[in-house]
């Protein structure tokens, strides 16, 4: 058991932290207040090789391990949840799913440009009437010759107006319930596709989130991901990757809350001494530190399981649940430490609190993860082997693959 980061991982953290300090933190207050998603950030992330940090070099990625993705997400969320979310969706939910389930042709056509950051990927599962209850989705895909015709809509889709490629889940046979859901790669340029942003969100205001619509969208059969009826399994495996990045990001939000609170504790004085000298303030600081350290252990444990090629649904669920709860509490305590100033946008902690709520809800609510963990312990839930797994790390070198 080795808890040390490699030199490459340490350098990666320093690179992302420096990027966040220079290119996100000075501007995020304005972007957040105006609801601006700044696209230049995605371009800079691509230039740094961070859009495909854990994708094999054969597909245009940086070839680092899965915990490298956790480091990127942790440091990005220290700046703001919006840009961690962008990487979570692009890399965690979309690109890693293509790596796991895609054909060689699909990987070359879609994964490679995404790993390079030339194209942006997104994920379309949630619908107005289907969130935790995935089987309630209404989007359909009807076979028509060599194509599928998609009709329906998705909501709360991150990067809805930004992404080029979407992984979309639809019923090909509703009579089979979960077993009748299939997954498709949909391009923004396909006729009948449209998107619309959701404005005035409570948090993550600097993020692009909204709805996508399919009106007789014709998708080639070559864009079916996996087999017909495998969509539910593909979606759940994608969520394992997404939840991993969300949990890692939560560590970054705890870190940001802690840094701002420590700074304020030394600046602000009451009753003749720094507020950090007051024991109940120290209690909040201590809880933040404990939450950060425990969350990191859960997150990086999941990354190591991924590196070994071991299924990690149970461990990822626990990390996502606990880290997001710790982050929500840390942000709340950060506001409390700042007092009345914490309730305004004069300090960033108000934004931290607003942003911290969404991850407690999406990619499995805390209630869903609570039930999952209890069912694992009680023996009611067991994870069956998947027909395809993410490749273990270090990635094997295939000389037959030529990067395009």
Q: Over range 306-330, report the average pLDDT.
A: 98
pLDDT tens column, 196-220: 999 999 999 999 999 999 999 999 9
* pLDDT number for residue 396: 87
What share of the chain has pLDDT > 90, as a percent? 95
Q: Over range 139-147, report the average pLDDT.
A: 98
Q: Is the pLDDT of residue 76 over 70?
A: yes
* Identified catalytic residue from 127, 211, 230, 363: 363
Torsion of CA 324, 326, 328, 329, to 10 degrees: 170
Sign of CA dihedral 328, 331, 337, 338: negative
* pLDDT number for residue 398: 61
14 is a catalytic site residue? no
* pLDDT number for residue 1: 81
Q: Is the pLDDT of residue 11 over 80?
A: yes
Residue 394: asked if its preceding bond is cis (omega within 30°), the reply is yes
pLDDT tens column, 34-60: 999 999 999 999 999 999 999 999 999
pLDDT tens column, 260-308: 999 999 999 999 999 999 999 999 999 999 999 999 999 999 999 999 9
Q: Is the pLDDT of residue 77 over 80?
A: yes
Contact present, 183 and 238 (Cβ < 8 Å): no
What integer best gives the mean pLDDT of the chain?
96
pLDDT tens column, 226-253: 999 999 999 999 999 999 999 999 999 9
Contact present, 246 and 359 (Cβ < 8 Å): yes
Structure tokens at 381: 């839930």
Mean pLDDT lowest for which of 43-47, 86-90, 308-312, 393-397? 393-397
pLDDT tens column, 172-195: 999 999 999 999 999 999 999 999
Query: Taking each helix axis from N to C terminus, what angle separates 279-308 and 313-338, rounded to the nearest 10 degrees?
Result: 160
| DSSP state for residue 35 in the 8-state scheme | T
Half-sphere exposure of 70 (CA within 13 A, CB side): 29
The whole-angstrom separation of Cα 301 and Cα 298 is 5
């Amino acid at each position: 058991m080795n808890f040390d980061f490699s030199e490459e991982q340490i350098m990666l953290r320093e690179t992302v932290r420096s990027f966040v300090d220079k290119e996100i933190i000075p501007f995020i207050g304005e972007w957040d207040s105006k609801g601006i998603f700044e696209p230049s950030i995605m371009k800079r992330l691509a230039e740094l090789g961070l859009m495909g940090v854990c994708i094999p070099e054969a597909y245009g990625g940086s070839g680092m391990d899965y915990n490298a993705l956790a480091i990127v997400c942790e440091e990005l969320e220290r700046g703001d949840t919006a840009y961690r979310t962008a990487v979570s969706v692009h890399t965690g939910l979309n690109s890693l799913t293509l790596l796991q389930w895609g054909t060689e042709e699909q990987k070359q056509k879609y994964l490679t440009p995404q790993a390079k950051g030339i194209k942006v990927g997104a994920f379309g599962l949630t619908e107005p009437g289907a969130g935790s209850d995935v089987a309630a989705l209404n989007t359909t895909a009807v076979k028509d010759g060599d194509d599928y015709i998609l009709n329906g809509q998705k909501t709360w889709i991150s990067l809805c107006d930004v992404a080029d490629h979407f992984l979309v889940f639809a019923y090909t046979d509703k009579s089979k319930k979960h077993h009748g859901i299939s997954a498709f790669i949909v391009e923004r340029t396909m006729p009948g596709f449209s998107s619309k942003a959701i404005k005035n969100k409570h948090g993550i205001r600097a993020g692009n989130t909204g709805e996508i619509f399919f009106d007789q969208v014709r998708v080639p059969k070559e864009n079916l991901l996996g087999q017909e009826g495998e969509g539910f399994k593909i979606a759940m495996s994608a969520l394992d990757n997404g939840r991993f990045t969300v949990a890692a990001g939560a560590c970054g939000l705890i870190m940001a809350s802690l840094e701002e609170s420590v700074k304020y504790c030394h600046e602000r004085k009451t009753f003749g001494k720094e507020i950090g000298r007051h024991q109940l303030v120290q209690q909040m600081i201590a809880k933040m530190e404990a939450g950060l350290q425990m969350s990191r252990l859960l997150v990086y444990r999941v990354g190591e399981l991924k590196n070994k090629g071991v299924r990690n649904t149970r461990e990822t669920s626990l990390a996502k649940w606990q880290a997001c709860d710790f982050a929500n509490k840390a942000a709340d305590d950060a506001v409390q430490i700042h007092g009345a100033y914490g309730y305004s946008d004069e300090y960033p902690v108000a934004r931290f609190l607003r942003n911290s709520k969404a991850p407690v809800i999406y990619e499995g609510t805390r209630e869903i993860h609570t039930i999952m963990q209890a069912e694992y312990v009680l023996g009611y839930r067991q994870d069956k082997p998947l027909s395809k797994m993410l490749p273990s790390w270090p990635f094997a070198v295939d000389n037959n693959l030529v990067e395009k």
